[in-house]
Amino acid sequence: MHKDNTIIICRCEEVTYSTLQETAKLHQCSARELKLRTRAGMGFCGGRTCRPILDRVIEDFIPNTTADAIPLKYQPPVRAVTFGTVGGSND
């Protein structure tokens, strides 16, 4: 299967397939370490966009890792607030 090494996996942090591959090979890192070293999945969206692809890429690079064993979680960047909190009350 041919893979384009310049394809961007994480758009928020602009992490490419080749960056993930090179980092995994150079450092022989865990899934968590790969995320921390490359910042993949740590952008504005908190991994909601790239997480499924990132999981599959990590499975390819790190031996004996499955999608359910990858300790990466979604991290929403903000909390939901009500309009009343933003605009104040009309007392």
pLDDT confidence of residue 82:
74
Helix (H) or strand (E) holding 8: strand 8-10
Burial 53-64 (b: 16+ CB within 10 A, else e): bbbebbbebbee
pTM of the model: 0.65
Rounded to whole angstroms, the Cα distance separating 76 from 1 reads 34
pLDDT confidence of residue 1:
44
**Mean pLDDT across 61-89:** 66
**Mean pLDDT across 32-39:** 88
